[in-house]
Structure 1
Amino acid sequence: MSDTWHSTEQERIQALEARVNSLERQLKRQKIARKNAESFLETYSQDAYLANQALRKALRDSKQRERELLYLNRAASQLSSNQPGKNFIISALESAVEFSGALCGKAFIVQGEELTVGDDSQVLSHDKGWYSSPELAKLLKDETPLALRESYSHWCVNAVQRPDTKEEARVLHFMCEMAEGEYAWLVLLTQDDHLEEETLHILDTSKHYLNITLRYHSKKTKLTSQQIELSSVKKDRDFLEERLVSADKMAMLGQLAAGIAHEINNPIGYVRSNTVVAKEIFNDYQYALAEIGTLCHAAGGEIGAQFEALEKRFSLQESAAEISEMFNESQEGIERIIEIVKALRSFSYPSSGKHTQISAIDAINTAIKLTNNLHRYKNKVKVEVPDKDVYFLGNAGQIQQVLVNFVTNAIYATPEGKPITLKVQQDDKNVMLIVEDEGIGMSRETLGRVFTPFFTTKPPGEGTGLGMSISLTIVEEHNGTINITSKEGKGTRVVVMLPLA
């Protein structure tokens, strides 16, 4: 009786201990799940904020693209109109004032030494139309080089002080030659000292359209030649519209990539958590199995023999080792996916404009991860970095954009099997991020135009022609420089030099 009671009590104790162990494991899993939930909530809040910022930026960019296309369409329509040169100059001024959002504008036409148009106090405003302002009219006239007789290819910019507010502003002007010895100037006065480079680039098309139209009116007998030029302008306009649409598509792809990264991030978190817990539970089973084996061997006889037979039949030790290795490989794969998702999110979302300390080695490695699918089966990528990391100040997302652009170009230009090398070097003041390839290289003419917006050597549909110009803008905003050397048939070397932190 006593032995039976003692055995029953032992079974109850063992059952309670098993229950306690089970509850402890459940509590541990719940703690891990709660921690992951808090992490997911923090990530979701951050993603929501970044997504909102990205949407605002996309809307601003979309409105700017719309204004640019409307301006280009209007300028192209004016090009094909049959109106006298003076009227065309005024029409072009109206378009430029409206597009640039200038405070006011004025047109001047000089014939011989006489100012035939613009010698008055009238200025043109988008809101007020033509109105009298002697101070502004005098400022625009004084800042315009009316004695110049050589056409210049781009808008010139002068820093001035507005006579009405005494604040700094900018005067933009350019000149074009008209028929019968006439010269015309378009002059704009900005609201303040802020002037966007992209706006100035789009305004440059005004001079192109004006020159063609004025030549058309002065040489009506050369109808065939003019038709060819009109066709060329239409192609240029269509090309620009296509590139602008492509740029919008690339921006949208960035947003989609950010959304996909967010969608991957949530389920991979669950997989990561479950894998960690499953591995711990398996370790407990493995430990229990070892204890059972020890007890069976200690008991000996038929029990020990049966355990040994089962162990051999199911290869328990080998299977346990293989499962443990599977868990380790799964964890490594999950961590790699998480790193790629983090890199993709930081690359896709717009930056806040703040500069932080960046690891040069991390920047290089991130660029390699983001382009892994492009070079994995095509080129071997080598990395040469110093033993001690190098740091510089900048925006991580923008620097990644620059490096990804250069690495992508290297992959595109390098034949299969040839290597691409990424290096980190430094001198006393700067860090150098270097991308070298053994590709087809560039001619001197191509190298001279490599930073020109919309210029690309890739087939239609495979490149926007904006990557290099955007990269240059980003690096210059970081007070850095880009140096490119290339030889046809031998390869290209790109050096991005940035100040040390």
Structure 2
Amino acid sequence: MNLVPTEIKLKERVKELTCLYEISKTISRSNGIEKEVLEKIIISTKKAWRYNKKASVEIQVPDYSLWILKPDQQTVFQISNIIVSKTIVGFIKVHYPESDYNSHDFLQEEQTLLDTIAYEIGNYIEKFKNLEKKQLLMRTVERIDRLSSLGEMTAGIAHELNTPLGNILGYAELIKSNNTNPEINDDISTVISSVIYAREIVKKLMYFSREMPQQLQLQEIKPIVTFVLSFLKQNLQAKKIKSELIFKNDSIVARVDSVQLTQVFFNIIINAIHASPDESTIKITIENDAKNLSVTIADQGTGIPDAIKQKVFEPFFTTKPNKDSCGLGLSVVHGIIKNHNGEINLLNNTPNGTIFIIKIPLN
């Protein structure tokens, strides 16, 4: 039995209170889950143990594995689990070298202190995880508001442009049919091509603003995806990119507009091809549950920087050269998915690339 004199107990109690005070002060001054904060907690913890000169302290939490005086031999230790939202996410340990100490050299009061420290670390992590979730939610709400405003604006622009573009196209075709001058004919052909291109942009704007009429019908999803991949076969072969198509259920049927859904797959996959290095893989996974169709498209490309993730669905935003893109591809995708009462999100792939996740109600 490990009996400790009263004077020693008093000294240990003072060290425990000092440790808790230092840890509380460190956490209260932190601005996030930081390595420096955890290092200060380790140092304060080490000082509180009875044989602190020989003690080493270890913390394991998500994203961090930290030691102070990592031992090079077998140890005996006290441990306490770090819990966040009723889930064990790590631990804190205090070690003594096994050659000099055994488990009886630890005090019960030290185990109680370690449990308190683990509890404080758990609260510290949970606090900032909740703040991160709140900030993410606020950014999402802001993005939805911004896209909604842009949708209303682009719908108005599209309607205003549609009529004059139609008139220009009609008169240009009339002039061309009555013209006999080859030079004028070339100029009129340029006008007609430009107007058709402009009308395609207007159509994409209407897709984004959800103003395009839908033809919703029960459709098998597999033929839509396989058609898009066969259409893009040459694009894939040009960069020696492998397409890996996984159907968890070959007979998924959903109420969708097949033309619009084809546009969604085409736009995302062509972007993935553009961003992917040669001889990489684009993985497409199609599955469903009782309510939703789920499509995951993962590439191994350059990825999308965090700074622009909130902008990629906005019209006219593009990272490609202007001659290669008008910046409407993903905004069209966003509009179509929303028009299907679905949602689209993007994640980082590992080790590099982007993952688009689409969910659309089956019915």
**TM interval, short-chain normalised:** 0.3 to 0.5
Higher helix share: 1
Q: Rg larger in 1 or in 2?
A: 1
Q: Under a length normalisation based on structure 1, what TM-score does the superposition of the two structures give?
A: 0.32
Q: Under a length normalisation based on structure 2, what TM-score does the superposition of the two structures give?
A: 0.43
